[in-house]
Amino acid sequence: MASTTFSLSLSTLASSTAYNSGNHIPTISCKSNEKSSLCLSSSSFLGSKLNVSRRTSSANPMSMRNVRVTCSASVLPSALLFDCDGVLVDTEKDGHRISFNDTFKEKELGVTWDVDLYGELLKIGGGKERMTAYFNKTGWPEKAPSDEEERKQFIASLHKRKTELFMALIEKKLLPLRPGVAKLIDQALEKGVKVAVCSTSNEKAVTAIVSFLLGPERAEKIQIFAGDVVPCKKPDPAIYTLAASTLGVDPSSCVVVEDSAIGLAAAKAAGMKCIVTKSGYTAEEDFLNADAVFDCIGDPPEERFDLGFCGSLLQKQYVS
């Protein structure tokens, strides 16, 4: 697959493009039938550069003379769907991992997940699934039952206690929201865009994050799809398919904010646009299929993107 990348200074677009972070968001219109994607730099979106990455599967690299950048914000998503861990809050290293380890210590299992190991385990969606896969590979603790059904109950009890410990951290507000999260949610709610959180984490843990960190006024307007509400977890698209169906919106009109490769795969398999905001554990993952990639959402004056940009992803046109 050939790849060509170029950078445009926003100041050079002034003659042909009006730009304002609140109303006019750069998009790409390509006179080609070849695949294209938008990839923005991790520096501030209000800064000096917009990086456009063009990928093509043809034998001959596509000529860049047929690419132009335009601005529009007349379309908004029908729904804005957020992953929870790593997107709303960077919870994994100093939240979930610590709570797992405290649970293992309480139960005297002789198990500790260090930072690097937990990063590998995050490739498995769901805490119960994560523990099961780990014990299947490394051996079950002596205190664990040998019967398969009893082991499921054992894992469920560990996960319940882990969730209790994690919720205590959230209630103490020891883990802050990531930059720009509250801003983007407020923009969506003000414009009548439906907002939901779609996570593989336990529903109680996700509800605690939304309630305690986003506040009750926002929380009552946000629908939560989490935990075992679907039989298959990310990268399976079931959680996003369920969200679209329940909210009564077309998947193609939804924009998802994710932080991981498995979350991105779930969103794209559901037929949705997906923006990746990298988190501590996912910075080096492959986000080739993302519609845009940032280091965070960001608050002014370091804002990376806003609701208008989310809408602009629905307007990208590839015209031959």
Q: Which residues are catalytic?
A: 83, 85
DSSP string, 7-72: EEEGGGGTTT---BTTTB-EEEEEESSS--EE---SS-TTSSEEEEEEEE-SSSPPPGGGEEEEE-
How far is it, in rounded angstroms, from Cα 166 to Cα 48?
A: 40
Closest C-alpha to 271, from 255, 284, 258? 255
Structural Rg of the chain based on CA atoms: 21
Phi then psi for residue 56, to 5 deg, are: -140, 145
Q: Sheet with 79-82: list strands edge to edge.
A: 222-226, 194-199, 79-82, 254-258, 273-277, 292-294
How far is it, in rounded angstroms, from Cα 114 to Cα 310?
A: 36
User: What tokens does 115 get?
Assistant: 């930072």
